[in-house]
Amino acid sequence: MRVLIVDDEPLARAKLRRMLAPWPALEVVGEAGDGVQALQLCATLAPDAVFLDVQMPGCSGLDVAASLPDPAPEVVFVTAFDRYALQAFDAAALDYLLKPVEPERLARAVQRLLERDRPAAAPALPAQQLLIADRGRVHVVDCAQIDWLEAADNYVHVGAREWLMRRPLAALLADLPSHFARVHRSAAVNLHRVAHVLPRGDKGDALVVLRSGAEVPCSRAWRAALVARLGPG
């Protein structure tokens, strides 16, 4: 498993590298001292996992986690602050370690990483519910009630309600049931909520009208696949 260490403190990076050395299955392929460099190295090195500090100048670890390329590496946050834990797990973190990192706690995080790296015995079942953090509370949202998803600012639309999700759209769709379909680079809809599809303009684009009355743009690139999935009639 190829690992990237991200921390603005060189001594912290060196210490974590030493602590990871006993696991031959982990190869530290790079280090980054800030969030921007971290994203650059993720794009070029494609690590399987990132040990990611939260508070860094310029671009925080949470910002990095929300901007990781697809497929995103596993993320283990390593920070001196416990107040970001909810946001970290909302960003699909695998684990959250507090500094100074205890060897036993690091061992459990590594074990979880290695288990993720093994071939799955069976495909994971799609999530039927989403856990959404909002103003200090965690809300359970039934996926069947979701109308559409919006990548711009990562909104989940449920009727007139908008929920903010700090996960990239592609990562979110990978965990959802198959009746969610991409209709645009920045949007996906619940196929069970589609009322009809209207042509829009002369470039092959369309407008997806949902039963709630919401209208979601559908680009030409996704229109044929959407219509095929909706079926005849």
Question: Please, which pLDDT band fits residue 137 given cuts at 50, 70 and 90?
Answer: low
Residue 42, Cβ density class (10 Å: 0-12 exposed, 13-18 middle, ≥19 buried): buried
- Mean pLDDT (whole number) for 79-92: 81
Architecture of the domain defined by 2-117: 3-Layer(aba) Sandwich (3.40)
The arithmetic mean of pLDDT across residues 90-117, rounded, is 88
Considering the chain, tell me which residue range(s) the CATH 2.40.50.1020 domain(s) occupy: 130-230
* pLDDT tens per residue, range 31-41: 999 888 888 88
pLDDT of amino acid 126: 62
> In which band, very low, low, confident or very high, does the pLDDT at 115 lie, cut at 50, 70 and 90?
confident
Q: What is the 3-state secondary structure (H, E, C) of 90-141?
A: HCCCCEEEECCCCHHHHHHHHHHHHHHHCCCCCCCCCCCEEEEEECCEEEEE
Chain region(s) in the chain for CATH 3.40.50.2300: 2-117
Which tops the pLDDT comparison, 148 or 86?
A: 148
In three state form, how does the secondary structure of 44-77 look?
A: HHCCCEEEECCCCCCCCHHHHHHCCCCCCCEEEE
Identify which has the larger pLDDT, 154 or 105: 105
Cα–Cα dist 170/15, whole Å: 34
Helices and strands per DSSP (H, E), number in the chain: 7, 15
**To which H or E segment does residue 34 belong?**
none
Residue 203 pLDDT grade (very low, low, confident, very high; cuts 50, 70, 90):
confident
In terms of CATH architecture, what is 130-230? Beta Barrel (2.40)
pLDDT digit string, tens, across residues 217-230: 999 988 888 888 88
Higher-pLDDT residue of 140 and 146 is 146
Pick from 45-54, 68-77, 83-92, 131-140: least confident: 131-140
Residue 209 has a pLDDT of 95
